[in-house]
Structure 1
Amino acid sequence: MSNLTQTLRVSLAQHALFASFTLLFLSSMRAAYVFIFYADRVQASGDLLFILTQGLRFDIITIGFGATLPILLSLFVSPFSLIWRGWQRLQAAYYVALLAIIIFIELSTPSFIAQFDTRPNILFVEYLKYPKEVFAMLIKAYLGDLVLAAIVIPLICGALFWALKRSFTPATSNLKWSLALFPVMSFLCLLSIRSTFGHRPVNPSVVAVTSDLMINSLALNSTYSVMWAAYNNNTNGGNAFSYGDIDEARAIMLVKENMDVPAEHFTNTEIPTLHQQIAGTQRDKPLNLVIILEESLGAEFVGSLGGLPLTPNLDRLAQQGLWFDNLYATGTRSVRGIEAVITGFTPTTSRSVVKLERSQSGFFTIAELLKNQGYDTSFIYGGEAHFDNMSSFFMGNGFQNITQQKDFVDPKFTGSWGVSDEDLFNMAHDQFSRAGDKPFFSLVFSSSNHTPFEYPENTIEQYDTEKATVNNAVKYADHALGVFFEKAQKSNYWDNTLFLVIADHNSRVAGTELVPVKRFHIPALFLGADITPQRYTTVASQIDMLPTALSLMGINSEHPAIGHDLTQRPTKKPGRAMMQYHETQAYMEGDNVIIFEPNKEAQQFAYRNEALVERGQYDAALKERALAHAKFGPISYRDGSYRLPKQKTYRKHN
């Protein structure tokens, strides 16, 4: 055997085994997705061969990331007998651990797709930050998946370790050949990672060839998908923007024009959107405000929006206040809903500002505005407030008090995500009843309608025979909401309080369209005090709720939120909504929709009969407005210009 052949065999044997095991596993999983789980959607896309070939490409890229450093180090270590044996053991342990991680992420994929309709992304990483809640959820809802992982991971990793151990060899490499091979192997490893001779390395946009994002993601593997999302998130931070070019000054100008605010009401050049808002309802004493954020309550569950008959209490309350027939969430996660409702901030390709570093203080929220006007401000939640960084963001931006799971004494029921909605609302009712004449604002965030859908026994007549289903959880959440409002309407705070009931997002946003607009449709309702019953049918967004609430409360204020005060906006004028769906964003104005994908030309559709239809005529002005709104968030976050002015004195209401 020549020195070259011997050096290659000794240096590369373990790496070849790891690559073989990994390719076989990832290819088998992709084949299962393509031919068993999602065969109908793959067939509809007509991209079977493309998915399989590109899948192999991304599997090689993933292996390249994991194996490049060990391969190059092995070339230098293999000629030295004193350290070669120990190196082989260390390398074997590394590869077994790496394969275990790859298998775990891949086995988690079906459950993740069921929830988010795409392979694991940055949400996967973020959920791992909260092991208590996630592990409890997995035990209750995904026990079968855990058992499967507990069997499959040891079997495959055990087989790899056995094969690696049998491949151990003496240090018989030739140092000269190792040095000669180093540039060759460096080139090949780099090529495996870049997967192209082009100027830019391959990335997920290569496989974004259909409007079905889940089908596009099948051509990746889940480990690569998570790595790419983490890299992209850390690189872009709050300045993520890749939808197109527009002059920043013009973008801000277009956003301001769309705010329906008189030019003379803008008050600060350093904070471009800071403006005076004059309340549509003038009051001697402004109302209290309670925002009830309902977990995962999509329109398809709400009878008044044409959904299933699961919300009789909300449907009844809808007749008593200002009800929105055509309102859309800005995203698919709770923090995106919090971002929109509490701050009025537009969605971006980055994480919600609830999690971004530079927005942990000095970032505008309605809590800060109301605190400066003499209100007590609070957050009431049945789970642990550290989840999704909520407590840090809230306490740094105007919330004075937080009530969370540890503050509930003898709750009626405790599930994976905290106490039941009934316990939550009982706590809220007690706190509001004790407020007296002091004005207050509170964000009350429910959690019962969340996987694994746990709620107290014998509280509702189940819609589904099986207990732990989303339909039953929605019905329980509505039951708890109804009980609360029965108490509230008889309370000492009812006549002085404005309530906003609104969903944070839908339970499962999925579909074959670039952005499944239908799945962003959510309920919202203002009621309480003297609110006149009315239905608002024009398109509206979660970001419109903040200025509308201030107007109904009777609060004259100054703030940077760009949402519309819907109490003073002509209903014949088309409304607009922004929806962030992973890295894709939709801007809907009336029934016209502009959709942006990273590094691609914008596409224009009409939204008719709850579906996107390609529009023949292109509206350049609409695209520019959409692009301006997409860029507003990154610009204002980067510049620190989404805030209240410093050292501002406000009139307090007693």
Structure 2
Amino acid sequence: MKFVKNRYAVLFGFGILALILSFLVRTALLVWIYPQSGLHITNIPAIYGKGLIFDIGVALFFTIAYAFYLLILPQRLNNTLFNRIFTYTGFFLALMILVFSFFAEFTFWGEYAGRFDFIAVDYLIYTYEVIENINESYPLPLLIGGVLVFTGLLTWLLSRRGTFRNSFQSNTSFGKRLLTFCTLLGLLLLHVFFVNNTWAEQSKNRYAQELSKAGVYSFVSAYLNNELAYDKYYLLEDNSNAFSRMRGLLQSPDSRYLDNGNSIYRSITDTAIRVAPNVIMVTIESFSADFMERFGNTQHITPVLDSIAKQGLLFTNMYATGTRTVRGMEALTLAVPPTPGQSIVRRKNNENLFSVGQIFEQAGYESTFFYGGDGYFDNMNKFFGNNGYDITDRHRRQFVEDEIATTRTNIPDSAVQFSNAWGICDEDIYNAAIRSADAKYAAGKPFYDFIMTTSNHRPFTYPSGKIDIPSGASREGAVKYTDYAIGQFLKNISAKPWFKNTVVIFVADHCASSAGKNEIEISKYHIPCILYNVPGYAPQEISAMCSQIDIYPTLLGLLHWSYNSKLYGKNVLEPGYQPRAMVSTYQKLGYLEPGKLLILSPQQKAQCFSWNQARNEQHTAPMDSGLLKNSMANYQTAYFLFKNGGMKK
């Protein structure tokens, strides 16, 4: 034990404690997820081996500053009150952060079945919503108290073992201190230059990938890689070839390209009589297809949506492009494939883009974005406000000035019956949209509205007395309330004079979770979409595989509109439509065709899989060159156009 009876006793004690705690967290997560993970016992050594490497990296990052302090601290100050206070305080604070992160990992894993990623980075930025959400979802005083007590207990145990005494009473020469510091620094530099978070992602099983990681390490990695340059990290072909193929994929009998070369700008011409109804799109938070009875659910929690699915045009094989609300918004406004990293909604230079809103604007419509929370969150107001939408939301940051080019309206307290961390309940946001529609109708203005709901989100709270499941009890309760609010919305607007001439779209932004044993769990991207009250069309189910980006090209085709387009979406009902969908994580870009999946990854990797939809099974398959070229054409050209201004109006 002579090794730890020197000035570095506390440092090594902290490091060993960090490794033990991380081992316990990894073990607990493994036990939690093992039954449905698809992991084999042979996967476990690699999980713990890689995990240990990442954990050592975390311990080095936490202790390197203290190691430098110990190097330069004169021996005469080693056993002083100053050093004791500094060491105890620093140890307690560092350990408290580590313990808190371990507690947070369990809540994050319960929601996303993964280690910290871009979502956790966002949560650090948007502290109001997150703190309120945690406060409403969990007993926050008990959690904080538990962290403090547990940290205090561990500090006391190390003190009882003499760890601090060994450090304070030691007489370690400068030469030994320098050797120790240089060794630790060298190990840290090796970690920085040779160990990357993508090393954990070499396994084909997503759970194995996530378990191999360390939460703090993943958080830092996500923070440093907020946007990934497609042309740096992914497979490329010549731009002219990529655009040539993309133009071929988008070509249709009713389209004509207006630009040559690296462009998809084209005119869509329909010779039938144009119909121009109002359009209201209800984007439902975290709403998986399998919540509905139509898709196999037996809990009877969506009676309204199941009913209107039989009365409208139901897409039975539609997939979300991602796993975040802003990714869904990107797909539903810009109709573009997801580019790696953050959604365009969150990025710089995302103003004045060609959008669905512009198509309606050119047709004389007034477009409004309705959100039950504060649209400052996730940059939503800035994105919608600078792309042709007026804003109606719930202001909570009066000191924040969003740089938007349109009107922003606050939903007053008098119009709110219930709110939680994420915003007002769905009934209240629907009522705000109805008031706006009444005013526009009275002024003789057609309208296009984008409504974003919030009730189907943790903490799953909603007004009491509405449904038979207590508020905050479960996601099933939130789903049932979401469905109930839709029923009230339809009941209220059905009596309006503008209803007969209004199409209502119900679509999810993404599924309730994305967890699964595969890198991209396709079933966790399957969402419902209903076009309700479309004039001149009988109820039907549309079974062709498609994407969120196809909703408006299909609707405008049904309405016989002629318009110019930079959208990547296609009319699913047109002759010759080739089924496909795009599904993604922050780094993995999936291109889906019936029975096939191709995944593009950083380091210029591409993997091909066969996919059995009925069994939700994926198996490695030989590379399909056509699928690869189609995938690259979509993702490469979309990235090129955004980065080079080609998506602008």
TM-score by length of structure 1 reads 0.87
Matched, 1:400 2:379: no
Instruction: Report the Cα distance in structure 2 between the residues aligned to 1:633 and 1:154, rounded to whole angstroms.
Output: 51
Give the C-alpha shift of residue 561 in structure 1. 1.1
C-alpha distance in structure 2 between counterparts of 1:95 and 1:312, whole Å = 55
Give the 5 Å matches for 1:525-604.
525-532=530-537, 533-570=539-576, 573-599=577-603, 600-604=605-609
SS where residue 504 of structure 2 aligns?
Answer: strand
> Which residues in structure 2 correspond to 1:129-144 (within 5 Å)?
129-143=125-139
In structure 1, what is the Cα distance between the partners aligned to 2:429 and 2:102? 36
- Say whether residues 1:442 and 2:441 are aligned partners: no
Assess if the C-alpha contact under 8 Å between 2:255 and 2:269 holds in 1: no
Cα displacement string for residues 357-381 of structure 1 (whole angstroms, at most 9, x for unaligned residues): 221x122322233334432121112
1:432 pairs with 2:427: no
Query: Secondary structure of the residue that 1:317 maps to in structure 2?
Result: helix
Equivalent residue number for residue 65 of structure 1:
61
Moved more, 379-388 or 83-92: 83-92
Question: Partner of 1:254: helix, strand, or coil?
Answer: helix
C-alpha displacement at 1:495, in angstroms? 2.9
Question: Which residue number corresponds to residue 283 of structure 2?
Answer: 293
Task: Report the more deviating stretch, 272-281 or 180-189.
Answer: 180-189
2:272 & 2:480 partners in 1: Cα distance?
34
* Cα offsets for 1:304-344 (capped at 9, x unmatched): 23334322222222233221111111111111111111111
Deviation for aligned residue 1:292: 0.7
Residue 15 of structure 1 deviates from its aligned partner by 1.9
* Cα distance in 1 for residues equivalent to 2:36 and 2:477: 29
- 1:119–1:214 Cα contact (<8 Å) kept: no
Where 1:38 maps in the other structure, the secondary structure is helix
Q: In 2 relative to 1, CA 146–115 (structure 1 residues): closer, same or farther, beyond 3 Å?
A: farther
Query: What residue number does 1:207 align with?
Result: 200
Q: 2:101 aligns with which of 86, 101, 105?
A: 105
- Look up the SS of the partner of 2:568 in the other structure: coil
Q: 3-state DSSP class of the match of 2:195? A: coil
Kindly indicate whether residue 15 of structure 2 is the aligned counterpart of residue 19 of structure 1: yes
DSSP 3-state at the match of 1:128: helix
Does residue 1:231 correspond to 2:224, yes or no?
yes
Displacement of 1:186 in angstroms is: 3.4
* Partner in structure 2 of residue 30 of structure 1: 26
Q: 1:123 to 1:245 in 2, by over 3 A?
A: same
- Indicate conservation of the 8 Å contact 1:107/1:149, yes or no: no
Tell me, yes or no, if the aligned pair for 2:51 and 2:212 is still in contact at 8 Å.
Answer: yes
Residues 44-83 of structure 1: CA deviation (Å, up to 9, x unaligned) = 3631222222221111011122222432343233457499
Shift of 1:142: 2.6
Equivalence for 1:414: 419
Give, as a single letter, the amino acid of the residue that structure 2 aligns with 1:564. K
- Find the counterpart in structure 1 of residue 120 from structure 2: 124
Name 2:401's counterpart in structure 1.
none
1:459 is displaced (CA, Å) by 1.7
CA contact (8 A) 2:254 2:269 kept: no
Aligned residue for 2:225, secondary structure, equals helix
Structure 2 partner of 1:55 = 51
Distance 2:36 2:491 in 1: 47
Output one character per residue of 1:343-366: Cα deviation in whole Å (capped at 9) or x when no partner: 11211321111111221x122322
| One-letter amino acid of the counterpart of residue 636, structure 1 | L
- How far 1:503 sits from its partner (Å)? 0.7
For the 8 Å contact 2:415–2:428, the answer to whether it is kept is no
Q: 1:17 to 1:591 in 2, by over 3 A?
A: same
C-alpha distance in 1, partners of 2:554/2:440? 24
Query: Which deviates more, 261-270 or 19-28?
Result: 261-270
Residue matched to 2:142: 147
- The whole-number CA distance in structure 1 between the counterparts of 2:618 and 2:170 is 65
* Partner of residue 75 from structure 1, selected from 67, 71, 82: 71
- 2:403: which partner in 1? none
Residues 326 and 480 of structure 1, relative CA distance in 2, 3 Å threshold: same
The correspondence of residues 239-638 of structure 1 with structure 2, limited to 5 A, is 239=230, 242-261=233-252, 265-269=256-260, 272-279=263-270, 282-283=273-274, 286-308=276-298, 309-359=300-350, 361-404=351-394, 406-408=410-412, 409-436=414-441, 437-462=444-469, 468-532=473-537, 533-570=539-576, 573-599=577-603, 600-614=605-619, 616=621, 618-638=623-643
Given that residues 330 and 541 in structure 1 are in contact (C-alpha distance below 8 angstroms), is that contact kept between their aligned partners in structure 2?
A: yes
Post-superposition offset of 1:391 = 0.9
Question: Match for 1:439: what amino acid?
Answer: P
- C-alpha separation in 1, matches of 2:447 and 2:104: 43
Alpha-carbon distance between aligned partners in 1 of 2:94 and 2:253, rounded to the nearest angstrom? 59
CA contact (8 A) 1:540 1:576 kept: yes
Superposed CA RMSD: 3.0
In structure 2, the CA distance between the partners of 1:314 and 1:581, relative to structure 1 (3 Å rule), is same
1:648 equivalent in structure 2:
none
Q: Is the 8 A contact 1:559 1:643 kept in 2?
A: no
Decide which moves more: 156-165 or 14-23.
Answer: 156-165
Distance 1:535 1:241 in 2: 41
Does the aligned pair in 1 maintain the 2:461–2:471 contact within 8 Å? no
In structure 2, stretches of 5+ residues that fail to align are 396-409
CA pair 555-253 structure 1, distance change in 2 beyond 3 A? same
Question: 2:243·2:262 contact (CA, 8 Å) conserved in 1?
Answer: no
Q: 1:528 to 1:40 in 2, by over 3 A?
A: closer
The alpha-carbon distance between structure 1 residues 576 and 77, as it changes in their structure 2 partners (threshold 3 A), is same
1:184 deviation in Å? Answer: 4.6
Distance 1:523 1:345 in 2: 19
Q: Residue type matched to 2:590 in 1?
A: A
| Range with bigger deviation, 91-100 or 470-479 | 91-100
Shift of 1:239: 4.7
Question: How many angstroms apart in 2 are the aligned matches of 1:68 and 1:16?
Answer: 11
* Cα 1:19/1:616, change in 2 over 3 Å: closer
Alpha-carbon spacing, 1:168–1:150, altered in 2? closer, same or farther (3 Å): same
The one-letter code matched in structure 1 to 2:337 is T
Deviates more, 1:53-62 or 1:550-559: 550-559
The alpha-carbon distance between structure 1 residues 331 and 17, as it changes in their structure 2 partners (threshold 3 A), is same
